[in-house]
Amino acid sequence: MDKQDELLKEAETLARYMSGYQHELPPNISKTSPAPEEAREELLQQCEAIWKQMEECQSKLTMSGPETLPETDVQLYLLMMQVKALTAEYEQWQKRTPEIISDNQDVLLAVGKEELEKIAQELEMVLSSVQAKNKKLKKDLEKEQNWLDGQQKIVDALTSRQDELKNQLTAFSEKRVYQDIAGKLYKVRAHKEELLSALGDFLEEHFPLPQEQENQSKKKKGQSGKKSVQLMTLHEILEILINKLMTTPHDPYLVLEPHHWPPYIEMLLRYGIALRHPEDPKRIRLEAFHQ
């Protein structure tokens, strides 16, 4: 078990060494720099030595054979092995010291040039990406600025309109309000008088007082010596009902008397113009059409 762990650690160390510097080596030193043939041969020898060490580790691992896993709790065993491997890798990284690829100045120069070229390419890609983002941000900024200008114009227009309304409200004095209300009230009263006059003319034309009953009452007066009852017109009855409804809405009822001609009262009740008191049939009121 311990021998296998040591072989695994050694193989991992060699693999990390190769993977850590493999991407840093130039693909062809003769093309990237005028390095002599000796530098190339030196690097090839170092690679061959490392490769031989890896082959030896691989053969040792092959000879050790596969390790049998316990029948119970295989997952826990694998996790413990993974923890051991990671611990060993951590210890190797802690013990590791920076190593130089080669002491040859030509090799180091070639590697440095390649790294600088890679860095330059990456920086160019970053620069192009940043420029594209700046261009997009500039367009977005222009759009937002145009929208802000439009909103500012709307705010200015609303502010000026608000100032105008404030000035108009200040100029609208109480005297002007009183004059307007008085004028409207005068028009309403004039319209009311016109309606009452038209109603009176209509009632006098279509609902006159009964002449026969007046004549009969005069004859009876001459015979009996008693005063006859003067009947009220339908216009007068309606005017009394309207005034009672408007002036005393808490008690709008009219007490029926002999001078209220019964046919007129029955007509008003039949057509829903007037209502009889629910407890006193001798009292009527006008229907509240305005409510």
- Please report the pLDDT score of residue 149 as a whole number: 93
What's the mean per-residue pLDDT of the chain?
A: 78
Rounded Cα distance, 164 and 91, in Å: 82
Q: CA dist 22 to 11, 111, 196, Å?
A: 16, 11, 115
Predicted confidence (pLDDT) per residue in 155-202, tens digit: 999 999 998 888 777 666 667 778 888 899 999 999 988 988 888 888
Q: Can you give the residue ranges of every domain in the chain?
A: 2-65+80-125, 207-286
3-class state of residue 173 by DSSP: coil
3-class state of residue 164 by DSSP: helix
- Please report the pLDDT score of residue 180 as a whole number: 85
The structure tokens listed for 99 are 């190593």
pLDDT band at 88 (very low <50, low <70, confident <90, very high): confident
Predicted confidence (pLDDT) per residue in 198-245, tens digit: 888 888 888 887 764 555 555 555 554 455 678 888 888 888 898 888
Residue 275 φ then ψ, to 5°:
-130, 145
The structure tokens listed for 219 are 């004859």
CB atoms inside a 10 Å sphere around CB 35? 20
